[in-house]
């Protein structure tokens, strides 16, 4: 090899290394920033029993040898988490509770795993497109894509991890490293029961489009088997009835106009900054079950950009983005048009960042968590320490739950705020939940949470209950009641 060729090769390698260094700086920044913000959200009483308190109790109990055990508020007893959702991936966090017991473990772990999804995007893009700069831009767009940032900042949910698991599964399929492909596919199936439907369609895609017949058949069989087993056998067996969210999908015909109108707006919001994905429609359709579940659900939270329900869609949006860009690049011969369209992609991405992202601070609606006053913070720390014995049964208002679910039994003082979407009335919620606190030895109230009409009924019942006596009040926010 001549000296000129050696120098050119070295320059190319250095250039490639620079792109990777830049990307890893952004990935590490993402992990640090969103670990900090999600922990601050929890510590400033902006998290709730649904779902950070639940997740913390499940992992805490698992760390104590009580595998996936949690207190079910409807059944008023401890059950397996598998009675609610199939997300046994939670157990992988239990060993870390031996080092530190608390939601911080979950929040940091979530930011770490989700941040690594950007590396998967880069690897897939680099392999398919052979363009380092474009691959870095797509990976950075993942870190700044609003559903990614919103999911990681909205407490902790196991399904959020599926974004990264699915992206790495897709990467290893591109490499034809099928053992690694099945490992990451299997991990994604452990994050929620409906992932099996998406994995089923992924297998169909591999079989018919990529002609990977054996892998496609196994993948489809694995996906549909997991879905049927978890939705129709495991969850009903542990719950004693059908899936709790089944009511979300009733009366579809009467809601059809609403579904179409809101489904269009929801889809447009997610896709327009990722419009290259439309040039690879078949890969985008792999996530069709997730789109349909979110669109036809009567629960509007499932179509919100603020929550975690878009996690599976994100993985296939970025896979389609990469393949769609490749298809567009092949179809369009004019380099000027290509550059203009790519600039449009950058502009729309920046516009979506401004409109929907929680960070950076220059966006339209930046996230901001105000520190607790010193009195409330002191009260919380005192009672967290006093009630650290996990045999003590505690009930708290929802925002206090993540501080007090390091125990075997816990009762939410109020109720699931999504009760209306499940078809329940206020009267039904009051009747079924208002006495839950009576199972507890101690009840801790954040007075800011019981000001509205329905929560205040719960609060008044506690105050009139002769079996409980107020033993502490900081005259600001926190009250503590003890069973006598």
Residue 58 lies in a domain: no
pLDDT surpasses 50 at 8: no
What dihedral angle (degrees, nearest 10) is formed by the CA atoms of 202, 142, 158, 127?
40
Tell me the sheet residues that pair with 70: 79
Q: Is the pLDDT at 111 greater than 80, yes or no?
A: yes
Residues sharing a CB contact under 8 Å with residue 289, sequence separation 6 or more, in sequence order: 194, 197, 198, 201
Residue 249 confidence (pLDDT): 86
Residue 361 falls inside a structural domain: no
Last residue of a domain, one of 356, 386, 420: 356
42 and 165 share one domain = yes
If asked whether residues 232 and 340 sit together in one domain, one would say: yes
**Among 174-178, 251-255, 311-315, the least confident range:** 251-255
Same-domain status, 382 and 348: no
285: enclosing H helix or E strand: none
Whether residue 87 lies inside any domain: the answer is no
Q: What is the mean pLDDT of residues 262-286?
A: 97
DSSP strand pairing (468-473 vs 77-80): unpaired
Claim to verify: residue 293 and residue 427 sit in the same structural domain: no
**Are residues 253 and 394 part of one domain?**
no
Let me know whether 406 and 351 are in one domain. no
Assess if residue 72 is contained within a domain.
no
Same domain, 202 and 306: yes
- Domain boundary pick from 356, 389, 405: 356
Same domain flag for 381 and 253: no
What domain range includes position 329? 3-46+102-356
Span 153-172, pLDDT tens digits: 999 999 999 999 999 999 99
Number of domains in the chain: 2
Lowest mean pLDDT among 91-100, 137-146, 247-256, 359-368: 247-256
In sequence order, what DSSP letters do the residues of 216-242 get, joined into one string?
Answer: HHHHHHHHHHHHHHIIIIIHHHHHSSS
Cβ-based burial of 439 (10 A; exposed 0-12, middle 13-18, buried ≥19): middle
Note the pLDDT tens digit of each residue in 294-352.
999 989 999 999 999 999 999 999 999 999 999 999 999 999 999 999 999 999 999 99
Tell me: do 129 and 204 sit in the same domain. Answer: yes
Query: Is 182 in the same domain as 135?
Result: yes
Same domain, 347 and 476: no
**Which pLDDT belongs to residue 346?**
97
Q: What mean pLDDT do residues 450-476 have?
A: 96
Q: Are residues 245 and 347 in the same domain?
A: yes
In a domain, 80, yes or no: no
């Amino acid at each position: 090899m001549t000296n000129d060729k050696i120098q050119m090769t070295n320059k190319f390698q250095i250039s490639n290394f620079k792109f990777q260094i830049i990307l890893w700086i952004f990935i590490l920044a993402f992990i640090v920033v969103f670990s900090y913000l999600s922990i601050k959200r929890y510590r400033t009483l902006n998290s709730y029993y649904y779902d950070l308190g639940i997740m913390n109790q499940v992992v805490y109990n698992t760390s104590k040898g009580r595998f996936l055990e949690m207190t079910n508020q409807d059944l008023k007893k401890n059950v397996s988490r598998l009675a609610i959702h199939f997300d046994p991936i939670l157990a992988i966090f239990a060993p870390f509770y031996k080092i530190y017991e608390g939601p911080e473990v979950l929040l940091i772990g979530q930011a770490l795993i989700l941040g690594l999804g950007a590396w998967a995007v880069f690897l897939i893009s680099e392999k398919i497109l052979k363009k380092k700069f474009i691959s870095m831009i797509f990976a950075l767009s993942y870190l700044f894509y609003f559903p990614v940032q919103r999911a990681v900042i909205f407490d902790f949910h196991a399904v959020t991890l599926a974004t990264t698991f699915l992206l790495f599964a897709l990467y290893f399929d591109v490499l034809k490293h099928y053992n690694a492909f099945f490992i990451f596919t299997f991990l994604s199936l452990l994050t929620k029961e409906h992932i099996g439907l998406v994995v089923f369609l992924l297998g169909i895609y591999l079989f018919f489009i990529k002609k990977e017949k054996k892998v496609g058949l196994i993948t489809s069989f694995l996906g549909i088997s997991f879905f049927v087993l978890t939705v129709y056998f495991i969850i009903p067996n542990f719950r004693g009835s059908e899936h709790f969210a089944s009511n979300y999908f009733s009366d579809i015909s009467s809601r059809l106009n609403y579904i179409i109108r809101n489904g269009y707006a929801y889809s447009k919001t997610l896709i327009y900054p990722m419009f290259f994905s439309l040039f690879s429609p078949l890969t985008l359709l792999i996530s069709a079950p997730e789109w349909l579940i979110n669109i036809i659900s009567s629960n509007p939270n499932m179509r919100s950009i603020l929550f975690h329900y878009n996690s599976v869609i994100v993985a296939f949006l970025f896979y389609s983005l990469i393949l769609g860009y490749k298809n567009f690049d092949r179809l369009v011969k004019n380099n000027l048009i290509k550059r203009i369209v790519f600039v449009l992609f950058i502009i729309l991405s920046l516009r979506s960042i401004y409109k929907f992202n929680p960070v950076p601070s220059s966006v339209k609606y930046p996230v901001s968590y105000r520190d607790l006053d010193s009195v409330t913070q002191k009260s919380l720390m005192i009672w967290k320490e006093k009630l650290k014995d996990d045999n003590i049964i505690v009930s708290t208002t929802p925002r206090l739950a993540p501080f007090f679910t390091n125990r075997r039994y816990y009762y939410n003082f109020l109720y699931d705020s999504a009760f209306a979407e499940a078809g329940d009335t206020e009267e039904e919620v009051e009747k079924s939940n208002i006495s839950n606190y009576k199972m507890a030895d101690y009840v801790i109230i954040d007075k800011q949470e019981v000001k509205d009409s329905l929560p205040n009924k719960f609060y008044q019942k506690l105050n009139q209950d002769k079996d409980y006596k107020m033993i502490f009040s900081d005259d600001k926010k926190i009250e503590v009641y003890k069973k006598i």
